[in-house]
Structure formats: C-alpha cells, structure tokens
Structure 1
Amino acid sequence: MVTTLPRTPRMNAICERVIGTLRRELLDRILILNERHLTFALREYLIHYNGHRPHQSRQPLASGR
C-alpha cells in the first residue's frame, strides 16, 4: 500500500483519475503481453496524449511583441 504525502491530500484522487484514464483509453483496447509490451504501450500513449493535446505552458504561443 502506498500512502499519500501529508501536504498533498488530493494526490490520491489525481492518481486514481490518471489510472482510470489509462484503463479506459489504453488498457481496455489492447491485450498486454508482458512488462516490456506494457512499457512500450504506455510510452506510445504518453507521446500521443501529450502530442495531440499540447498545453499552453508546454508550447506557448508567440507574443506579438
């Protein structure tokens, strides 16, 4: 069992949301064969997820200065 840190009471809820997203969008759609395959699938999912949904803090627009 992993316990949450004292100053981060919302960490558990955030982790559960991430795990739920991974289950629905990735693990329910593919048969994982072994740990190496899981690692590869997670890496590809993260590239897809972050590449198609860029955040403003990661790729800010050029300011018109």
Structure 2
Amino acid sequence: MLLRLTCLGVVNAFATLRLLPMSDRDKDAEILALRHQITVLEHQLDTGKVRFTPRDRAFLAAPLYRLPLDVVRR
C-alpha cells in the first residue's frame, strides 16, 4: 500500500510539473477532453455511470487543485 501511494505521488508530481507551463486556455481544453472521454466511456458501457476507484479519483483530481474553482465547476 505504501509503495502504491509513493508511486501515485510521483506520478502526480510529474503531472503537476507538466501543467505549470500551460495557459488557462490549454488547461480548460484538457479538462473538456477528459470529460468527453468519460462521457464516451459511459456510452460504450451502457451503464450510465463509470465507477472510479479511489486511486482513479486521486489521479484525476491531482491536476485540478491548481485551477480556479470556477473553471473546475464548469
């Protein structure tokens, strides 16, 4: 469990470093692309909702903490 947490921390650190030089417009576009991918996955599964594991939620949420709340809520 500790190894997984460490690995997740390293991956999130690299994800954060990748976001630093991006403009707000680029970040917004990436968020929209990720939301679209989730919607397509939901349609393919025909279950209505995708169930995320806690690890998936942490990975998806890591880049969002730097964005303003109004952007995240959109």
TM range (shorter): 0.3 to 0.5
TM-score, normalization: structure 2? 0.34
When you count helix as a share of all residues, which structure comes out higher? Answer: 2
